[in-house]
Structure 1
Amino acid sequence: MPLTTADKRANFRKLHESGCFILPNPVDVGTAKALAHLGFKAIASTSAGFAWTLGKADNRVTLEEVLAHLGAISAAVDVPVNADFEGGFAHEPEGVEANVARAVKAGLAGLSIEDSTGEKTRPLYERNVAIERIKAARKAIDADHSGVLLTGRCEAFLWGQADLALVIDRLTAYAEAGADCLYAPGIKTREDIASVVKAVAPKPVNLLIGASGLSRAEAEDLGVRRISVGGMLARNAWAGFMKAAKEMAEQGTFTDLANGYPGGELNKLFG
């Protein structure tokens, strides 16, 4: 019997209580189903990966497109779905609150709100504004009594501000403002990761890991609760697609097509 949305939300919260789990990032319903089939206990959307499926750059999708995408994925799988909800698709806290309220209706088990403005000259929201935006997201979630898990993100490292003290200050403030989980994409060293985990304890920490990052076991030893990979799976898929397509376009040969995943296996998966 399929799990209810309430079941998925309860399961997602339980995953954050102990251990360390991988939260891989699908780009559409098909890849979401594939990840669930492989046994991952939860999945998360990726803003970049989804944008590329629409032929758009990251952070260029609309709120309506994202809500439809999140609703489709949540309905398609029997595991919790966490949303990369970017900056809440609004600058002012009131807009964040309204948009989070709509996102919760999509059946999500969790969502994240980041503090980047998207502007090179002013990459992060002013501290107090960023805190109010987290409070607004918390207010929307609580008003719905949904139990959706809120993740507060500090984007400083991704915008060239490798200031761990700033990151910790913001993450602890976001925790106090109501974030259930904390996330600082871009931190990589064991020392920085351990410092963040210690600073926000006992609240869980999400770690972004790429190709040369720590293993799940190593991250768990540092106290990390969950691991996401952002757009990396999408980039891997695009790598295979572009390699085969370029061979056809530039050489007129088709040898790389032999590396494709078996169609019969995909039909079994989705059958």
Structure 2
Amino acid sequence: MSTSEHHRSRTRVVVDAQSLSELYRAPEILRVVNVWDAASARVVAELPGTRAIATAGHGIAASHGYPDGERIPLDLMLSTVERISAVVGLPVTADLDGGFGDAGETVRRAIGVGVCGANIEDQLRPLAESAEVMRTAVAAGRSEGVAFVLNARTDALVRGGDRPRADSIADAIERGRAYLDAGAECVFVPGVLDAAETRTLVEGIGERKVSVIGLPGALAAAEYEALGVARISYGPMPQNVALTALKRLGTSLLADGTIPEDTEPLNNF
């Protein structure tokens, strides 16, 4: 990349970060349909309601034949995110798992491929250690001249084991407050959340400061919006739905079926 191209790329990331931060703080919930490659990103980016692009770490790993959990090489993951960023004209926020061993360096490299925000997991590490990971990620963005938009993920619910649900909610609130103090824009609390739990999280962490995931059994986006949630994403579910459709189509074609007439051509590449 030439110096002028690098400058244009960095300028775009700076502007995108400001736009993404404003989307988190807006009264309307930010709805992101997670993508896993350039093709899925282009399709989602062209939808009228799309305001930002969010990558799915699980989906990217799976598309390359790796299990989730930082098993995919960082270079391969970032090259995929770079292709995604190249084909869309919207802010891109990436799933960076737990930071791949060095959250600061990973954020710097992510910014280099066009990313303006990210999810980083606490993996239920000790609170002080987790807060430092988040602080390091935000500081790395600042050192690159980018107000990096961190959606700090706490695994208080999904890794809570058999402890009482109320204790996990309380832990999520304590961790969330610490991550906001460390510079995070929002706190991602994955898990199927009902209205009462969501209300407790928003009251404890802050209005428009909680991010949730849409899974089977979760509330609708509008319901979370009414409760003060900032963002809803869908993790690996869009890829799961796409692969389910492929499986059903393949079963039909192998049984002498035909391609549905309403199938849209992929003319955007």
SS in 2 for 1:86: coil
Pick aligned residue for 2:116 from 92, 109, 113:
109
- The residue type equivalent to 1:172 in the other structure is R
1:33 corresponds in structure 2 to 42
The answer to whether 1:87 aligns with 2:86 is no
Distance 1:180 1:215 in 2: 23
Could you say if the C-alpha distance between residues 138 and 105 of structure 1 is closer, same or farther in structure 2, counting changes exceeding 3 Å? same
2:73 corresponds in structure 1 to 62
SS in 2 for 1:150: strand
Could you say if the C-alpha distance between residues 176 and 237 of structure 1 is closer, same or farther in structure 2, counting changes exceeding 3 Å? same
Could you say if the C-alpha distance between residues 68 and 217 of structure 1 is closer, same or farther in structure 2, counting changes exceeding 3 Å? same
Distance 1:108 1:260 in 2: 37
Instruction: Kindly report which structure 2 residues correspond to 1:242-253, keeping only aligned pairs within 5 A, or say none.
Output: 242-246=247-251, 252-253=254-255
Distance 1:9 1:204 in 2: 16
Distance 2:235 2:92 in 1: 14
Deviation at 1:10, TM superposition (A): 2.1
2:193 corresponds in structure 1 to 188
Is the CA contact 1:157–1:187 (under 8 Å) kept in the aligned structure 2? no
1:155-191: per-residue Cα shift (whole Å, max 9, x none)? Answer: 1222244411111111111111111111110141111
The answer to whether 1:148 aligns with 2:148 is yes
1:186-228: per-residue Cα shift (whole Å, max 9, x none)? Answer: 1411111111112122552211012332222111110011110
1:254 corresponds in structure 2 to 256
Is the CA contact 1:244–1:254 (under 8 Å) kept in the aligned structure 2? no
Distance 2:193 2:207 in 1: 21
Deviation at 1:7, TM superposition (A): 2.8
Distance 1:11 1:157 in 2: 30
Distance 2:33 2:78 in 1: 19
Deviation at 1:260, TM superposition (A): 8.0
Pick aligned residue for 1:12 from 7, 20, 23:
20
Structure 1, unaligned runs of 5 or more: 117-123
SS in 2 for 1:129: helix
Q: Which moved further from structure 2: 6-15 or 220-229? A: 6-15
Pick aligned residue for 1:21 from 24, 27, 30:
30
1:23-68: per-residue Cα shift (whole Å, max 9, x none)? Answer: 1101111111111111201110001111121122212211111111
2:4 corresponds in structure 1 to none
Aligned-residue RMSD, C-alpha? 2.0
Count of residues paired in the alignment: 252
Could you say if the C-alpha distance between residues 49 and 259 of structure 1 is closer, same or farther in structure 2, counting changes exceeding 3 Å? farther
Structure 2, unaligned runs of 5 or more: 1-8
Deviation at 1:76, TM superposition (A): 1.1
Is the CA contact 2:192–2:215 (under 8 Å) kept in the aligned structure 1? no
Is the CA contact 2:208–2:229 (under 8 Å) kept in the aligned structure 1? no
2:3 corresponds in structure 1 to none
Could you say if the C-alpha distance between residues 64 and 133 of structure 1 is closer, same or farther in structure 2, counting changes exceeding 3 Å? same
The answer to whether 1:201 aligns with 2:212 is no
Q: When the two structures are superposed, what TM-score results if normalisation uses the length of structure 1?
A: 0.86
Deviation at 1:243, TM superposition (A): 2.8
Distance 2:119 2:157 in 1: 17
Deviation at 1:146, TM superposition (A): 0.8
Distance 2:176 2:262 in 1: 41
Q: When the two structures are superposed, what TM-score results if normalisation uses the length of structure 2?
A: 0.87
2:104 corresponds in structure 1 to 97
Q: Percent identity?
A: 28
Pick aligned residue for 2:63 from 53, 58, 61:
53
